[in-house]
Chains A and B, each alone.
Chain A
Amino acid sequence: MAEVILKVENMKKYYELSRGLLSFKKPDVVKAVDGISFELHEGEIIGLVGETGCGKTTTGRVVVRLEMPTGGNVMFKGKDITKLEGDELREFRKSVQMIFQDPYESLNPRFTIFKTLTEPLIVNGIGETYEERVDLAIKALEEAGLKPGEEYIGRYPHELSGGQRQRVAIARALIINPKFIVADEPVSMLDVSIRSGVLNLMLDLKEKYNLPIIFITHDIAVARYMSDRILVMYLGKVVEEGPTESIIFDPLHPYTRALLSAVPVPDPERKHERIPIKGDIPSPINLPPGCRFASRCVYFQKGVCDVKDPELREIKKGHFVACHFVEKILSGELKPTGEVKAQA
């Protein structure tokens, strides 16, 4: 087994909503992430998948310590990152980098590409001389597919296309040799013909440097392309986790099954079979007890699903599901109930 780089245990992140100065009621709480655990191994890409508000971005921000968790542990190489201070914290910051969604916002428009790339070097004390930093910057650009690097180094972000900007963002992340990367929807702002180039670049870099990546996306097809393992999140919890192909071809949780059946496929002759799901995502404020998916689940069982929160259980090798009735659903013993809308 490859070395564990990051270990997240029962991590929670709650946000309190402010209620105004003179309110004496207890504030409402949004449980953005409510007890999730996973391990990130050397040379592995984990896909964090889910709809808006499922907590995938919050998870990404906590594991790089842009936010402090409300509870649980985040261990990086055996040390709890929430307890790091001073030099140790600085060392951690050097080991992790983030790639953001919008390359139009994440690069400083008044910095040249050179300044964008050398800032992290200076902050982290890498590269003794100016010449050395120039070399590193050029190397990073070429690594990110912007060749020749000299040609790009003096430019400003507005002189580059979206795809090129995202490549600069990747170069900036790579330049300090991080131990792992969190990429939050790195291609969702890019045009289709540009997107696959950036995805391939990230895959190649992972191969070359054995670099672990947490890849956050709402696009399951992209997650499948990129990841070795997929974690499906719903309202702050992981509902299903497993090897990518096992999740894609053999989804077990009613939510994952509905989600996958809703993904459009570029085949006009396919007969689209949909797995039903009720209503919309409920408000994440003050969620009721029990399974979070209960209100939308067509297999909902009163007395169980609205009482007990299901734990993740290993149903197949390496494939975990958080559902009380997954076996009965799969065997067909439990039939879907409630309104199922007509199909086109």
Chain B
Amino acid sequence: MVLLSVQDLTIHYKVASGWVRAVENVSIDVDTKETLGLVGESGSGKTTLAYAITQLLPKNAYVKGGKIIYQGKDLLKLSMKDDGTLDIFNEEIRKIRWKDISMIFQAALNAFNPVYKVGDQIIEAIMAHKDIKYEDARKEVERLYEFVGIPKDRIDNYPHEYSGGMKQRAMIAMALALSPRLVLADEPTTALDVITQDRILLEIQNLQKETGISMILITHDVSVVAEVSNKVAVMYAGKIVEKGSTVEVFKHYAHPYTEGLMASFPTIVGEKRRLASIPGSPPDLVNPPKGCRFHPRCPYAKDICMEQEPPLIEISPGHFTACHFARELYGGK
């Protein structure tokens, strides 16, 4: 069952030099009990997409089109002002945000207020949304701490007394505090050491098994996606270039960018082979290239790529790719 459906979403930022086309015509679906991995480099629009879903976009962001349908309701209709900016204080959105859709932020290390106890910050979040007594909220936090694996006696510690991994766990506890249906995790393990990262990812997987929540995992690391998500969407320069089930996309990628991404990742399994690199760098999104946005860096680019934007086509059931030569690339490498 589809829990969240983003349809044709376009978001631009207004800057001094014009409009940054950060997200263009992006569509994704997240089913219940599913993890969608959103992969891309910095500036690919993955974080903008997440902030659009939670409606926490900065003031210079304008929605230029599309829908964000959560349980049948278009969230954009609720909060969008006439000029396309979002009203982040909209009452209905505030009811949904955190209670239904919560977020694990990238900079968990700084996401807590340093002058309040960590436990109190989570208690406050619970009490803001639920009609509940302090003692009961505290019990709730104790339960959450146990769940994410932090000792209970740490509830009354301040953020600086926590290690990086513990802060990230506390952040997860906070995201889960109101039993949301959907959690957006923005690079939840990027700043952590390997062993801590592995534990957090394991925690996330266990959590999903136990609670059945849905998740969007935003990361630049294809290995992390392979580890935890069952669906994946690859973003490049504000567009989705490929999406499908993780196994299908990893085994039969049909977009040159995905191919380049996979080939440029070193791994500790299998033969050591020379890494490929993608020449050039991502485009300036104020003036994105005409045609396919990847064509200046693409080894397969032909004339058509400079002229026409490739549509997202279904190359095999549930597997979509936006490349003029997807059929040639699919399967045969």
Contacts of A270 in B (CB 8 A): 226, 269
A262 touches B262 (CB 8 A): no
CB pair B41–A193 under 8 Å, yes or no, is: yes
Task: Assess whether A61 is interfacial by the CB under 8 Å rule.
Answer: no
Given known contacts A218-B193, A258-B195, A266 and B276 CB-to-CB distance under 8 angstroms: no
Whether the Cβ atoms of B202 and A280 lie closer than 8 Å is no
Contact of A262 among B194, B272, B274, B275 (CB under 8 A): B194
State whether the Cβ of B220 lies closer than 8 Å to any Cβ in chain A: yes
In A245-292, the 8 Å CB interface with B consists of: 245, 248, 258-270, 272, 274, 277, 280-281
With a cutoff of 8 Å between Cβ atoms, the chain B residues found around residue A267 in the complex are 226, 250, 269
Q: Smallest Cβ distance from B300 to chain A, in angstroms?
A: 16
- A123 interfacial contact with B, CB 8 Å: no
Bound: A222/B199 CA distance, A: 21
Query: How would residues 180 to 214 of chain A score, 1 for a CB under 8 Å from any chain B CB and 0 otherwise?
Result: 00000000000111111101100000000000000
Verify B206–A266 contact, CB threshold 8 A.
no
Question: A248 contacts B268, CB within 8 Å?
Answer: yes
Tell me the bound Cα distance from A163 to B264 in angstroms.
Answer: 14
Q: Which of A191, A192, A218, A259 has the most CB of B within 10 A?
A: A192
Query: In whole Å, how far is A134's beta carbon from the nearest beta carbon of chain B?
Result: 26
Q: Say whether B221 faces chain A, with CB atoms less than 8 Å apart.
A: yes
Question: Is B163 in the interface zone, CB < 8 Å from A?
Answer: yes
Q: Are A268 and B226 in contact (CB under 8 A)?
A: yes
Which residues in chain B, 212-232, are within 8 Å of chain A measured between CB atoms?
Answer: 220-227
Determine whether A343 belongs to the interface, using a CB cutoff of 8 Å to chain B.
Answer: yes
Whether the Cβ atoms of A191 and B42 lie closer than 8 Å is yes
Instruction: State in angstroms the CA–CA spacing of A281 and B262 once bound together.
Output: 32
CA distance A272 to B226 in the complex (A): 11
Q: Which residues of chain B are within 8 angstroms of A261 by Cβ–Cβ distance? A: 198
**B261 neighbours in A (Cβ, 8 Å):** 192-193
B contact residues around A258 at 8 Å (CB): 195
- The bracket for how many chain B residues form the interface is 35 or more
Q: Give the complex CA separation of A169 and B260 in angstroms.
A: 25
Q: Are A266 and B260 in contact (CB under 8 A)?
A: no
Whether A51 sits at the interface, judged by CB under 8 Å, is yes
Render B180-223 as a binary contact track against A, CB cut-off 8 A, 1 for contact.
00000000000001111111011001100100000000001111
Is B304's beta carbon under 8 Å from chain A? no
Q: B226 touches which one: A200, A218, A265 (CB < 8 A)?
A: A265
Tally A residues with Cβ within 8 Å of B. 45
Which among B194, B201, B226 is the interface contact of A259 at CB below 8 angstroms? B194
- In the complex, whether B281 has a CB less than 8 A from a CB of chain A is yes
Q: Report how far A342 CA is from B203 CA in the complex, Å.
A: 10
Confirm or deny: A344 has a beta carbon within 8 angstroms of a beta carbon on chain B. Answer: yes
**Across the interface, which residues of B come within 8 angstroms of A269, CB to CB?**
247
Tell me whether A161 is interfacial, beta carbon within 8 Å. Answer: yes
At the interface, yes or no: A221 with Cβ under 8 Å from chain B?
A: yes
Closest to B274 in A: A200
Complex partner residue of A264 from B201, B209, B276, CB under 8 angstroms: B201
A220 within 8 A of B: yes
Residues facing A in B264-295 (CB within 8 A) are 264-269, 272, 274-279, 281-282
Chosen A-B contacts, 27 in total, with CB atoms closer than 8 Å, are A51-B194, A51-B195, A164-B281, A191-B282, A192-B221, A192-B265, A193-B264, A194-B281, A196-B265, A197-B277, A199-B266, A200-B277, A218-B193, A222-B266, A248-B268, A259-B195, A263-B198, A264-B197, A264-B227, A265-B226, A265-B268, A266-B225, A268-B246, A274-B202, A343-B202, A344-B205, A344-B209
Those 7 A-B pairs whose CB atoms lie nearest each other, nearest first: A197-B277, A262-B198, A264-B223, A344-B205, A196-B275, A196-B264, A193-B278
Query: Which residues from chain B sit less than 8 Å from chain A, CB to CB?
Result: 41-42, 163-166, 193-199, 201-202, 205-206, 209, 220-227, 246-247, 250, 260-262, 264-269, 272, 274-279, 281-282, 297
Known: A52-B193, A263-B194, A264-B201. 20 other contacts (CB 8 A): A51-B193, A51-B195, A163-B281, A192-B220, A192-B221, A192-B264, A193-B41, A196-B264, A200-B274, A218-B193, A219-B266, A261-B198, A262-B198, A264-B226, A264-B227, A265-B223, A265-B269, A266-B222, A266-B267, A270-B269
